[in-house]
Structure 1
Amino acid sequence: MPRIKSPQLLVAESGTDREGHGLRRTMGLFQLICFGVGAIVGTGIFVGLSDSVAQAGPAVVVSFVLAAVTCVFTAFAFAELGGAIPVSGSSYSFAYAGLGESTAFLVGWCLLLEYGVSVSAVAVGWSQYVNELLDSLLGLRLPDALSAGPGDGGVVNLPAVIVIALAAVLLVRGVRESARATAAMAVLKLAVLVAFCAIGFTAFQDGNLTPFSPAGLGGIGAGTTAAFFSYIGFDAITTAGEEAKNPRRDIPVAILVCIGLVTLLYCAVALAAIGAIGGDRVGGRPAALSHVVDEVTGSGVGGGVIAFGAVVAIASVVLAVMYGQTRILMSMSRDGLIPRVFEKVSPRTATPVAGTLIVAVVFAVPAAFASLDSVVNLCTIGTLAVMAVVNVAVLALRRREPGLARTFRVPLYPVTPLLGVGFCLYLMYETGGTTWIQFAAFLAAGLLVYVLYGRRNSRLTAAGAPVTPDAAERAPSAV
């Protein structure tokens, strides 16, 4: 039988109903919503929009809606489990409670893709808009040698390293400071995108939306897979379970508000951009939003404002996603599945200082030297696999723990989580055979790490805990 930790044991070990492991409760509902927006809205819309348009044309709006539908079904699952099991481990902990330790470890392993690759890719995108901003303000650009990795014609991507370092410094200082900075950046980037829509719609022409779907259903499907990258990060809200003031109430609300807000914003931005200058001039163009504003206004000033918004927006994604990664690693470390250095919390700042610095260094290396375009699909398939597992965990826990206190319940159960699994599998299929082979190799490596290290050092093993769910509830806490 699987080595399962009950929700009650996970909550008890995390200290969620008090102060958890030195973490402090400082985040209210507004901060959680801003944190979610900060984690989602960034490279996907400022940089990745052009890739989605290149695949789907004006029908990219449909692609954004389909990607959002996939996220909504899974957001319901995260909302239910985030309210019922409000701990820092997020989907890793949900899988531990619903499907067992080995699955949980592989979920945590996949989250290295979702958070690690996405942070590195986002940092590389930040570099593009830093150059755009410098060009607009000063007429200068950083040399390729210092603003791109070897795979993109440079030597080292220095701005990418800088933004990761700045995020690490802010995270180390404390959650309250990080939450305030994230809230300010989220409000600013929403204002910039609303301003972009206002400018774009002044030049809107119906003819720019035809042909609406030049590549047909295949293009919409490929565009949906590309657009999905724009939604990655909403699950990071659940990693704040031990630092939210009222996690059982606020986490489900924050997740659903974020998905609705971001979907409306993405569709409006896509329509404004394509309607203003046409899909063929948006698709495949770096810094596409700045280009649209420059074309519409005939001036570089508006594009500079958009570039500034993008610099802020993408920096907030780095901050929020790095936060989520450190909290998941902290949860895995508590369980003994990875080295204990990641669970240590500074009594002065109430943050995992060592874990944050390690994460920053590990994320900065690929951002500085690697071309990450080839692994974006791998990041997407890993994220979709995690989302599918979370939907399955809802089904498993509804059967195993019918009396579990749930502040939010997935509507139309069990149809909704089953649809969530189905949509995730469809988008995983759309990533292509090469990505599946890479993903299988990645999972095999993770399973090997679990067998050689994780299972041997698991605190369930150390405590001699039986593997049945009932016994797991009686297992002694090792913290």
Structure 2
Amino acid sequence: MEDQRTPEPAHEAVTAARTGTSRPGWASRMGRCKPIDQLARETGQLRRSLGLAQLTMISIGATLGTGIFVVLGEAVPKAGPAVVLSFLLAGATALFSALSYAELAGMIPASGSSYSYAYATLGELVAWVCGWCLILEYGVSVAAVAVGWGQYLNELLRLVVGVTIPDVLSQPPGEGGVINLPAVAVVVLAMFLLFGGARESARANAVMVVIKVLTLLVFCAVAFTAVGDGNFTPFLPLGMAGVSAAGATLFFSYIGFDAASTAGEEARDAKRDLPRAIVLSLLVVTALYCLVALAAVGAMPWTAFDGSEAVLSRVLTRATGSGVFWSALLSVGALVAIASVVLAVMYGQTRILFAMSRDGLVPRVFAEVDRRTGTPRKNVLLTSLAVAVLSAVVPLGALADATSIGTLFAFGLVNIAVLVLRRTRPELPRRFRVPLAPFTPVLGAGFCLYLMSSLGADTWAVFCGWMVLGLLCYFGYGIRHSRLREPLPHGSSTD
């Protein structure tokens, strides 16, 4: 299903010779922008079947659950009771970026999320870097979430039948195990759901979202009965530096709110519904996160949080005395919640690779669409295999921080893209406009940089290594196979 109007890479020199043009230099090729009208014309390969409710559920499904079920136990020791402020800090950073996402999603209703937005505004090299960060964000975050799923499965088995899966089969190397089979199992489950198509995947995701929202509300209702005033003092035991450090870790909790923007080509009315879904989902998620965090640190002293992934189950056990029933119920809800995150984020990952493949920057196999289901099934299979291997052998902490820094970088680029388009294409219709621009996008980019600076040197080393690998892939493959042949001015036609 290739666009026949665009010459293939092997014929680029022939085409240039026939037209009397010379092949553009590398600097020009790296800076070429993809016209917005071309992005709009290329849509249509995927089926438009998703409405506002489904898009909102995709974003909530990709976001809600990861941080509160999995990463909260790692964040509380860094900030103490002020972890609530850490959630607000991370949420404010996400909100600024969400507003920028909303404006761009209403203008550019294409798959690819911020990769496509960067391609239309900042040039091919920046778009590649953004897409490479999104691969880190989506692919690695799925692996991290899958690791947390295995922790809650063991917790449920311990509560119900008194046994757990041996560490050798449920922990990655370096943490007492050889392979994390539960993590692999949830990735494979999501893969089969994605094979069914976007509409079927969205229905399954919606059911799981309802279950996990109800689970978190039940947790709050039980935990608030055991809140002790002394658990909130001192409120800032580690100062604002601790709040910032925890906020950088908890930003992982907001990864996924942009998942709706990856469904730009499968939304029935993308320009209207995508902005609404992005902002609405973020507001719902932030409110629930803060509520659950208050209940958790109020019911259990912050010094008792020791980095355990299944921390909410321990809070309920402490709040109810024995609490086997409530803890088991929470573990079931957590399994459903984390499975929905895996499903929604893997959906987003496959659509980003689909957009990059259609542009020629990654191999063509990722853009092949199954005629029966209207989904890129080979893309889903390859992505699932890569994520399954990663989740089977890499510890959670390393995955979470690496995901956060890649996401923050991509979000910063989205804020910059809004500023660029406001200047270069002010005449374009915008169904949603970022309020108080340019201040809001500038603040969004600044907050992203601030949280990135709070991450450790090891995380920065991983990020820099990932960027070097990405640049090698771009100059070794992407720039040579790009289907955008020459630098084109904004808004020009390729016909």
Q: Same fold (TM over 0.5)?
A: yes
Say which SS state the counterpart of residue 49 (structure 2) adopts: coil
Question: What corresponds to 2:54 in structure 1?
Answer: 31
Establish whether residue 475 from structure 1 lines up as the match of residue 494 from structure 2: yes
Alignment partners' CA distance in 2, 1:127 and 1:435: 24
Q: What is the total number of aligned residue pairs between the two structures?
A: 465
Deviation for aligned residue 1:253: 0.7
Question: Which residue does the alignment assign to 2:287?
Answer: 264
Greater Cα offset, 394-403 or 439-448? 439-448
1:325 aligns with 2:359: no
Alignment RMSD (CA, Å): 1.2
Matched, 1:349 2:369: no
Whether the 8 Å CA contact 1:342–1:354 is kept in 2: the answer is: yes
Classify the secondary structure of the residue corresponding to 2:445. helix
1:475, distance to aligned residue in structure 2 (A): 1.7
The aligned amino acid for 1:3 is: R
Question: Equivalent residues in 2 for 1:209-220 (5 A)?
Answer: 209-220=232-243
- Letter of the structure 1 residue corresponding to residue 477 of structure 2: Y
Equivalent of residue 12 in structure 1, options 32, 41, 47: 41
Unpaired segments ≥5 residues, structure 1: 15-19
Matches within 5 A, 1:269-308: 269-298=292-321, 299-308=323-332
Where does structure 1 differ by over 3 angstroms across 4 or more consecutive aligned residues?
A: none
Aligned to 2:474: 450
Aligned counterparts of 1:311 and 1:192: Cα–Cα separation in 2: 11
| TM-aligned CA deviation for residue 145 of structure 1 | 1.5
Indicate whether 1:245 and 2:263 are aligned: no
**Which residue is equivalent to 1:181?**
204
**Cα deviation per residue 1:169-225 (whole Å; 9 max; x = unaligned)?**
000111111000100000110000011111111111211101101101111111111
Unaligned runs of at least 5 residues, structure 2: 1-27
- C-alpha distance in structure 2 between counterparts of 1:232 and 1:269, whole Å: 18
1:308-359 CA-to-partner distances (Å, cap 9, x unmatched) read 0100000001000000000010000100111100001101011100000000
- Aligned to 2:293, the other structure's residue is in SS state helix
2:194 to 171, 180, 184: 171
CA distance in 1, matches of 2:226, 2:396: 34
Indicate conservation of the 8 Å contact 2:69/2:309, yes or no: no
C-alpha contact 1:34 1:183 (8 A) present in aligned 2: yes
Alignment correspondent of 1:17: none
Residue 153 of structure 2: aligned partner: 130
Matched residue, 2:421: 397
Distance 2:482 2:308 in 1: 48
Partners of 1:263 and 1:121 lie apart in 2 by: 20
The answer to whether the 8 A contact 1:132-1:141 is kept is yes
Deviation sequence 1:288-313 (CA, Å, 0-9, x none): 11111111122211000000010000
2-side partners of 1:441 and 1:135: how far apart? Answer: 39
Structure 2 residue aligned with 1:158: 181
Task: Specify the SS of the correspondent of 1:307.
Answer: helix
Q: Deviations over 1:55-76 (max 9, x none)?
A: 0000000000010010010000
Q: Quote the Cα distance in structure 2 between the aligned partners of 1:372 and 1:291.
A: 19
Q: CA deviation at 1:282?
A: 2.9
**Distance (whole Å) between structure 1 residues aligned to residue 71 and residue 396 of structure 2:** 13
Contact 1:43 1:126 in 2 (8 A): no
Partner Cα separation in structure 2 for residue 441 and residue 276 of structure 1: 41
Out of 372, 379, 384, the position equivalent to 2:403 is 379
- SS of residue in 2 equivalent to 1:366: helix
Relative to structure 1, the CA distance from residue 306 to residue 372 in structure 2 (aligned partners, 3 Å threshold; closer, same or farther) is: closer
Measured against aligned partners, the alpha-carbon deviations of 1:219-260 in whole angstroms (never above 9, x if no partner) come to 111111111111111111100111111111111111111111
Paired residue type of 1:153: G
Map 1:5-84 → 2, pairs under 5 A: 5-14=34-43, 20-21=44-45, 23-84=46-107
1:54 alignment partner AA: P
Deviation at residue 164 of structure 1 after TM alignment:
0.4
Q: Does the CA contact (< 8 Å) of 2:148 and 2:396 recur in 1?
A: no
CA distance in 1, matches of 2:155, 2:59: 26
Secondary structure of the residue aligned to 1:258 is helix
TM-score after normalising by structure 1: 0.95
SS in 1 for 2:484: helix
1:416, 1:103 → 2: CA distance?
Answer: 22
Residue 396 of structure 2 corresponds to residue 367 of structure 1:
no
Using the TM superposition, give the Cα deviation of residue 137 of structure 1 relative to its aligned residue in structure 2, in angstroms.
2.0
* Greater mean alpha carbon deviation, residues 292-301 or residues 207-216: 292-301
Is the contact between residue 123 and residue 164 of structure 1 (CA under 8 Å) also seen in structure 2?
yes
2:448 matched to which residue of 1? 424
